[in-house]
Amino acid sequence: MNKTLCAISGAVALASTFFSAAPALADGEVNIYSYRQPFLIQPLLDAFTEKTGIKTNVVFSSKGLGQRIAAEGENSPADVMMTVDIGRLDGARDLGIAAPIESTVVSTNIPAEFRDPDGMWVGLTSRARVIYASKDRVDQTAITYEELADPKWKGRICTRSGQHDYTIGLIASMIAHHGEADTEKWLEAVRDNLARKPAGNDRAQVKSIYAGECDIALGNTYYMGKMETNDKEPEQKEWAASVRILFPNSEDRGSHVNLSGVVLMKHAPNKDNALKLIEFLTSHDAQEIYAETNFEYPVTPGVAVSDRVKAWGTLKPDSMPLSDVAKYRKAASEMVDRVRFDDGPAT
């Protein structure tokens, strides 16, 4: 059995075990399949239950949930799917598991650029793909994504796999802005500027800067907050203190952002409760919880970022709709393989 099928089977077993204790059709419940780790969303779900009295049941898996829901079909207990990355949000449509979210509350709370044009998903928070730069070895205070191809960075860049959703999203945005031919030349140059083969998660890139293995790295903004407040692993606070965030392209089109979001399931057994949950997640109160606990950027107008996030600098987000960027994700993935990005420099 391949890894994907194993992951799906694991989600199947987990879902079966969890929901056997709480029938999906029971009143006052909503069943959530989540790619987001439970500790990240639990404060929101607790607030929702306190406000509405509706119980939340959560199944978490890092992969395979969309395929699981598609396989369950009309018998799926899932009411909503919570996930990160525009690829997974858009992928729910491709799998045929999404239903239109028809709510004036949602359309009022969330600007159009953070909603699917057909209502098949709604963004809940954004995060920027930024540059972590060594405080000791990088003097400049501004940068562009295009500049990552400059030979001055040769042997100085770290990043995670080119096939990770976060990297694919950035490359897709570059294709959207510059076309495939120019983006491929750029990606080859970035590959040759890498300090090592792509590896690890975003925090690992900051650790590499701290260790002197590279000087700059690509990463999502909220990881800085997670490291700065990590009392269980205090060494991560030292990693974070060794870098500062640079927001790419702040002086022109703005930094690439991605979304966390929610999808209403086509066969949701508790549709009314699912809509109540989605509406709550777009509310001012819920967006404040997101901002304070997850160090993400609220997408509901009028909700401020946390003081910690504000201290990193001002984000000017790229105004290109993510639904347009998502069109180039397949081309981005193919490009990563074509240039052998994950083989690292001197390929």
Q: Which residues are annotated as a binding site?
A: 222-223
- DSSP letter for 214, please: -
Neighbouring-strand partners of residue 98: 265
Distances (CA, A) of 31 to 40, 47, 65, 177, 283: 17, 16, 13, 39, 20
Total count of residues recorded for the chain: 347
- DSSP letter for 36, please: S
Cβ atoms of 263 and 120 within 8 Å: the answer is yes
What's the rounded Cα separation, in Å, for the pair 46 and 162? Answer: 36
Q: Which residues are annotated as part of the binding site for Fe cation?
A: 222-223
**Which tokens go with 258?**
């991605």
Cβ atoms of 245 and 314 within 8 Å: the answer is no
- DSSP letter for 115, please: B
